[in-house]
Structure 1
């Protein structure tokens, strides 16, 4: 490809965040999945915005400033802590119901979509497939989100919420390598038309990550608690949710959920058997 041709390749941005946690064990190698503070699944989601990103960023920043300056909301401990720590930003897990409502209504107005991979925590699979490493678990999920984007013919910029070792360059490159492997199982290597660039950020530096955080949180609550309220409010934004290890529904892609086939309270995961 010549330099002139390269300049014609369109750039497309995606925004990624996780939900849940990758913890399997507590001290003494005792299984902790499903205990208070330890999720039943670990998930990774990717958001695409249609249209100019700058007005959306500006809108989120305005909303954050409003909350930081609101004398009813800025005394809430979670708000005050972030304000004093460098500036308020949205974080669904810690935000109060009043704060969440403002962000959810803003998200409802956006033209955006979420693709999410939900991985049930299966200890034997974590050992065999991910070698008991959180970073490999993360890389594997990320590869599933990347693989189908390699045919788009774009320079794909993945803006990823920082997560320690998991989002270090070496591990992100591992995810890309896994994505290429998965791609070649379905298509030929010559059909790979996209390049992928990783851009690790925080919600303070990239407000659009807050949208990914909220959407992922809403889907995760369905799987963890069977809670439908927030998911139903933003359901049209969830273009795809994959229950990656629901082997009982693999036939006919029954583990894939779309706008036409949405999640229900029956998608709530059961605790692991002892």
Structure 2
């Protein structure tokens, strides 16, 4: 029973994309020169014993450290500087395939909120601050999680100002306000605890990273093969600011009735 409780109360969060809006001279740089069109925060619920899953991922990381086949300069640099950890953006294609195969063996479900980047919204709604943009997305990820459990421990990948305690508390406050707007007098009984950590320290954050990267590939490149491969484990993706599809919750994507497709790629014309 204890193990089940432990798994029920823990979630692991990471992000994909960046929160860059401006280049030199405060010019709009969204979608240019390696700057993303979207920023994504994702959260994974793991239904297997957590240490079993950690051991699977650690075993792959150890294999890469020991096997010379993987020792290209970027991997060796990582091993020497931080210790090797899985990170989908940087990983070799062969490593990605092994990680995706591991993901298929894990009983888990993933949810993500996708924030399309807009200068106007950033300056007005988010007051030109990256941490407010982050808090807004996070609040939408949390708003439906506040009535089931008495406690929820959110293990979050560290991200500068955005994951400072006061900003995470701001996200939690926004989530509580949204919960109240949706549910009226329904009891809000969940106490949220934030545990900011580094992906070098907990391999379960690396698992969340792979899911986030998978969603990023859809929205940035229209590439759906990774998504299709692990689609059954991706419970919900909210394209938060897609106002054209607000009616009938069409900006909410599940893996059955309304899955993501290559058409979800962000067009530069939509800024």
Q: Secondary structure at the match of 1:42?
A: strand
Query: How far did 1:263 drift?
Result: 0.3
- CA drift of 1:232 comes to 1.1
* 1:136-151 → structure 2 map (5 Å cutoff): 136-151=132-147
- In the other structure, the counterpart of 1:220 is 216
CA contact (8 A) 1:46 1:212 kept: yes
2:197 to 184, 198, 201: 201
Distance 2:40 2:48 in 1: 26
- Give distance in 2, aligned partners of 1:11 and 1:250: 31
Structure-1 residue corresponding to 2:15? 18
User: Is 1:77 matched with 2:99?
Assistant: no
Q: How many residues align?
A: 266
Contact 2:61-2:86 within 8 A present in 1 as well: yes
Compute the displacement of 1:44 (Å). Answer: 0.4
Unaligned stretches of 5+ in structure 2? none
Deviation at 1:86, TM superposition (A): 3.2
Question: Secondary structure of 2:25's partner?
Answer: coil
TM-score normalised per structure 1: 0.94
Deviation, 1:96, is 1.0
Q: Which residue of 1 aligns with 2:268?
A: 271
- SS of the equivalent of 1:17 reads strand
Matched, 1:180 2:180: no
**CA distance in structure 2 between the aligned counterparts of 1:173 and 1:135, rounded to whole angstroms:** 12
Partner of 1:3: none
In the TM superposition, structure 1's runs of 4+ consecutive aligned residues that sit over 4 Å from their partners are: 8-11
Cα offsets for 1:230-255 (capped at 9, x unmatched): 11111111100011111111110000
The answer (yes or no) to whether the contact 1:246–1:255 under 8 Å persists in 2 is yes
Contact 1:152/1:193 (CA < 8 Å) preserved in 2? yes
In the alignment, is the contact (CA less than 8 A) between 1:117 and 1:144 conserved in 2? yes
Matching of residue 168 in structure 1 with residue 164 in structure 2? yes
How many Å apart are 1:272 and its aligned residue?
4.2
* Aligned-residue offset at 1:36: 2.2
* CA apart distance, 1:153: 2.5
Give CA-to-partner distance per residue, 1:40-87, whole Å, 9 cap, x none: 0111000000021011011111110011101100x2223212210132
Deviations 1:102-159 (A, max 9, x none): 1111111111111000011111111111001000000010101111000112310000
The answer on 1:243 being equivalent to 2:239 is yes
Q: Matched residues in 2 for 1:10 and 1:66: separation? A: 27
SS at match of 1:31: coil
